[in-house]
Chain A
Amino acid sequence: MIMNSEIRVRISKEYTQVYDSVRKGLNIEAHVLFFVCFCFAVSKRLEPIEIQNREDKFWSRTIAPQEWTAIYTFFLDKNNMNLKAIEDDEVVIRQAERYANAGMKLFLDELPKDFIRTIDEKQSIVASDKGETIKALLFALISANYEQENRDEDFTS
Chain B
Amino acid sequence: MILRKICVENFRQFKGKQEISFDHQLPGITIVYGENGRGKTGIFRALIFGLFGEKYLAQDGKIDVEDNINLINIQALEQANGQPVIASVSIIISNKNNTYEITRRLRGVKHGNGFTEEVFGISLTCTDGRGNTKPPLKDRNEINEIIGNVFDPKVKDYFFFDGEKIERLTRANTEQKKTVAQGIKNLLNINALENARRGMEILRDNLNKQTNVKSRGNLQKILAAVNDNANNIVTNKKKYDEKRNEYDFAIKEKKRLDNELEKIDAIKSTLTKRRELMGQEANIVERQNARVGLLQGKVSEVASALLEDAFKRVYSSLSAKKDAGEIPVQSKLDLINKILSDNKCICGTYVNKGSPEYTKIMAWKTEIKDSGLKDEAINIWSDLKTHLRIIPMTREEVARLIGEYDKDVLAINNIHSLLKTISENINDSAEEAARLYNQSREKINKDLGKYEDQLNNIEINAQQYELTKTDLARQKEKIIQEEGVKDELEAATMLATDTYEALDAIYHSFTDNMKQLLGQFSTKIMRRLLDEEGRRSLNRIVVKEDYSLQVNNLRDEPFLANISAGQRQIVSLCFITALAQVATGKDRFEIPLFMDTPFGRLSGEHRQNLIKFIPEICQQWITMVTDTELTEKEWSSYQNASCQCAFYKLCSQKDGTTLIRLIPPDEVTEEIIYKGDKL
Which residues of A in the span 75-96 have a Cβ within 8 Å of any Cβ on B? 76-78, 81, 83-84, 87
A-side interface residues, number (CB < 8 Å): 45
Contact of A32 among B299, B309, B311, B384 (CB under 8 A): B299
Show 30 residue pairs from A and B whose CB-CB distance is below 8 angstroms, ordered by the A residue.
Answer: A1-B376, A24-B463, A27-B296, A28-B299, A32-B303, A36-B299, A39-B304, A43-B306, A65-B383, A67-B304, A69-B380, A69-B383, A69-B384, A70-B307, A72-B380, A73-B384, A77-B313, A78-B310, A81-B317, A83-B374, A131-B291, A131-B409, A134-B299, A135-B402, A138-B299, A138-B302, A141-B299, A144-B306, A148-B309, A152-B309
Q: How far is the CA of A148 from the CA of B391 in the complex (A)?
A: 15
Which residues of A in the span 20-52 have a Cβ within 8 Å of any Cβ on B? 20, 24-28, 32, 35-36, 38-40, 42-43
* Closest residue of B by beta carbon distance from A131: B292
Which residues of A in the span 134-157 have a Cβ within 8 Å of any Cβ on B? 134-135, 137-138, 141-142, 144-145, 148, 152
Q: Are A142 and B299 in contact (CB under 8 A)?
A: no
Q: Are B307 and A131 in contact (CB under 8 A)?
A: no
Q: Are B306 and A141 in contact (CB under 8 A)?
A: yes
- Nearest first, the 9 A-B pairs at minimum CB distance are A43-B306, A77-B310, A39-B303, A69-B383, A39-B306, A83-B373, A131-B292, A36-B303, A70-B304
Q: Are B311 and A73 in contact (CB under 8 A)?
A: yes
A53-73 vs B, Cβ < 8 Å mask (1 yes, 0 no): 000000000001111011011
Query: Is B565 close to A, CB under 8 A?
Result: no
> CB-CB < 8 A to A72: which residues of B?
380
> CB-CB < 8 A to A115: which residues of B?
none
Contact of A42 among B307, B405, B460, B463 (CB under 8 A): B307
Q: Which residues of B contact A (CB under 8 A)?
A: 288, 291-292, 295-296, 298-311, 313-314, 317-318, 373-374, 376-377, 380, 383-384, 387, 395, 398, 402, 405, 409, 453, 460, 463-464
11 other contacts beyond A36-B299, A69-B387, with CB at 8 A cut-off?
A1-B373, A20-B464, A36-B300, A38-B303, A66-B387, A73-B314, A78-B310, A131-B292, A138-B402, A141-B299, A144-B306
B389 → A minimal CB distance (Å): 13
* Closest residue of B by beta carbon distance from A83: B373
Q: How far is the CA of A63 from the CA of B629 in the complex (A)?
A: 52
Q: Are A28 and B296 in contact (CB under 8 A)?
A: yes
Q: How far is the CA of A130 from the CA of B374 in the complex (A)?
A: 43
Q: How far is the CA of A38 from the CA of B309 in the complex (A)?
A: 15
Which residues of A in the span 92-137 have a Cβ within 8 Å of any Cβ on B? 128, 130-131, 134-135, 137
Query: Is A15 close to B, CB under 8 A?
Result: no
Q: Which residues of A contact B (CB under 8 A)?
A: 1-2, 20, 24-28, 32, 35-36, 38-40, 42-43, 64-67, 69-70, 72-74, 76-78, 81, 83-84, 87, 128, 130-131, 134-135, 137-138, 141-142, 144-145, 148, 152
> CB-CB < 8 A to B318: which residues of A?
81
> CB-CB < 8 A to B374: which residues of A?
83
Q: How far is the CA of A39 from the CA of B92 in the complex (A)?
A: 71
Q: Are A134 and B384 in contact (CB under 8 A)?
A: no
B481 → A minimal CB distance (Å): 20
Q: Are A43 and B307 in contact (CB under 8 A)?
A: yes
B410 → A minimal CB distance (Å): 13
Q: How far is the CA of A2 from the CA of B376 in the complex (A)?
A: 8
A141 and B303 contact, Cβ closer than 8 Å, known pairs A73-B310, A81-B317: yes
